[in-house]
Structure 1
Amino acid sequence: MVKAVMFDLDGTLLDRDASIQKFIEYQYERLKHLLSHIPKESYIARFIELDNRGYVWKDTVYKQMVKEFAIIGITWENLLEDYMNYFHKSCVPFPYLVWLLEELKRKSLKLGMITNGKGQFQMRSIKALGIEGYFDTILISEWEGMSKPDPWLFQRALDQLHVLANESVFVGDHPINDVQAARNAGMKTIWKKDAIYESADADFVIEELKEIPGIIETLQQQ
């Protein structure tokens, strides 16, 4: 019997690639008077490359950008502050996000989220997507003092939801931090396919969020 479904954020509920593309274009346009010596396409492409899909924090990214592009009108600290203050305005959800959460709540399932990242930054993104109220618990690594794939982070979420691991399903896009970690914690797993990873050792594989209710229904009948 499934009693809870938990999710990763970036790459699972939040389309981070689309969000980053939207943000960095927005940043360039807003700060064009300070960045006009840099071709827009070059600024965007280099940021995305250095960002490494979120696995490089932005202080490192902007320090390198300022150095490479000889940016003198604005400091890397100011660019980082701009990122912190404006990224949430560019958040793009994956299709069917709100529909999915409403479907799961309609089935009286408890919902949780476990995400790595900075606390206030991630919470701004969650609120920008308009989904905070659907979740019974949200764990963000900075605030919890531990990061995925640490199994204790998953156990903490289970404890807060008052469910057992074998009563829970975890949905994520990262084969190690999400899928393997959740399996190690004893949970059923759903891998949301990501083109940069060849495979993941998950119980189920999906292309889109709309596939999840059907999987939950299948598990309920087992």
Structure 2
Amino acid sequence: MALVGVSAVGFDLDGTLFDHLGSARDGVESFFRSLGVEPTEVAVTSWFTAEQREFERWRSGQISFQEQRRARLRAVLPPLGVELPTGDHDLDALFEEYLRAYRGAWRAFPDSRSLLRQLRSTGYRVGLLTNGIESQQRDKLDLIGLSDEFDAICVSESIGVQKPDPRAFAALATALFVAPADCVFVGDDPETDIDGARAAGMRSLLIDRGGQDRAGITRVVLAELSAR
């Protein structure tokens, strides 16, 4: 029996359906080696720390998307002994080398496709809401084989607002043709996904792919949708 009133399930992408951390770790290790840098745990951690900090600066409107990429290179590589080019064009070309390695490692979590299909086959409308640029997020979905598994896809660049802004979740509900109260949103970030969804009037489910939900999220999602 379905959770009363729920007719749709929304998902975050990175860290929820797409294995960003695993893909990015493989990508940055390959990138570092191409620069003659040993990808130690300290070096890799510095990359992810800069990624989180600069992506948040972009999300909050402080810098452009391209500048957050340049800022990551400037923060991480010189302390590792890499001399950076001075011009923005050359910095962008250097970041493209990382992107090629990252893209080559892209993968969905093993249970993502089967979960989406199971939900749709049982009558739920299924949507995606992700922060990022349209081209990259769509490219991810195409490459990992999830593009056709949703009834609606909302990328922040295209809808003009980002999570955790409640208007982003409202846009997803509109695209799914449901009221926010009729949707459960599943994500891995307590603030961006969970607080944002609740502020929009959606029910929400926090998952942890690196911890308690390492084996998969199908069971916890289905349990959330079951009558209590």
Q: TM-score range by the shorter chain?
A: 0.7 to 0.9
Aligned pair partner of 2:78 in 63, 67, 78: 67
Q: CA deviation at 1:150?
A: 1.1
Aligned pair partner of 2:119 in 104, 115, 121: 104
Q: CA deviation at 1:123?
A: 1.5
**Number of the residue aligned with 2:151:** 136
Quick one: structure 1 residues 73 and 180, their matched pair in 2 at CA, closer, same or farther if it must change by over 3 Å?
closer
Contact 1:94/1:209 (<8 A) preserved:
no
**Number of the residue aligned with 1:189:** 204
Within the alignment, does 1:159 sit opposite 2:171 as a pair?
Answer: no
Q: CA deviation at 1:148?
A: 0.7
CA distance in structure 2 between the partners assigned to 1:155 and 1:50 by the alignment: 30
Aligned pair partner of 2:218 in 207, 210, 213: 210
Within the alignment, does 1:14 sit opposite 2:18 as a pair?
Answer: yes
CA distance in structure 2 between the partners assigned to 1:92 and 1:23 by the alignment: 12
Contact 1:84/1:121 (<8 A) preserved:
no
Contact 1:100/1:213 (<8 A) preserved:
no
The code of the aligned residue for 2:173 comes to L
Deviation readout 1:168-208 (Å, 9 max, x if unpaired): 11001111111111111111111113679xxxxxxxx9663
3-state DSSP class of the match of 1:133?
A: coil
CA distance in structure 2 between the partners assigned to 1:63 and 1:72 by the alignment: 7
Q: TM-score, normalised by structure 1?
A: 0.81
CA distance in structure 2 between the partners assigned to 1:65 and 1:79 by the alignment: 13
CA distance in structure 2 between the partners assigned to 1:43 and 1:76 by the alignment: 19
**Number of the residue aligned with 1:26:** 30
The code of the aligned residue for 2:202 comes to M
Deviation readout 1:39-81 (Å, 9 max, x if unpaired): 3326534323322385463221112334332335894221222
CA distance in structure 2 between the partners assigned to 1:22 and 1:82 by the alignment: 13
Superposition CA RMSD, Å: 2.6
CA distance in structure 2 between the partners assigned to 1:40 and 1:164 by the alignment: 47
Aligned pair partner of 1:76 in 88, 91, 104: 91
CA distance in structure 1 between the partners assigned to 2:201 and 2:18 by the alignment: 25
- After superposition, where does 1:160-175 map in structure 2 within 5 Å? 160-175=175-190
5+ residue gaps, structure 1? 197-204
CA distance in structure 2 between the partners assigned to 1:96 and 1:195 by the alignment: 14
CA distance in structure 1 between the partners assigned to 2:114 and 2:92 by the alignment: 38
Within the alignment, does 1:94 sit opposite 2:105 as a pair?
Answer: no
Runs of 4+ in 1 over 6 A off after TM superposition: none
Of 134-143 and 69-78, more deviation after overlay is shown by 69-78
Contact 2:111/2:217 (<8 A) preserved:
yes
Quick one: structure 1 residues 195 and 210, their matched pair in 2 at CA, closer, same or farther if it must change by over 3 Å?
closer
Q: How many residues align?
A: 206
Quick one: structure 1 residues 40 and 178, their matched pair in 2 at CA, closer, same or farther if it must change by over 3 Å?
closer
CA distance in structure 1 between the partners assigned to 2:186 and 2:144 by the alignment: 18
Contact 1:191/1:206 (<8 A) preserved:
no
Within the alignment, does 1:119 sit opposite 2:119 as a pair?
Answer: no
Contact 1:89/1:128 (<8 A) preserved:
no
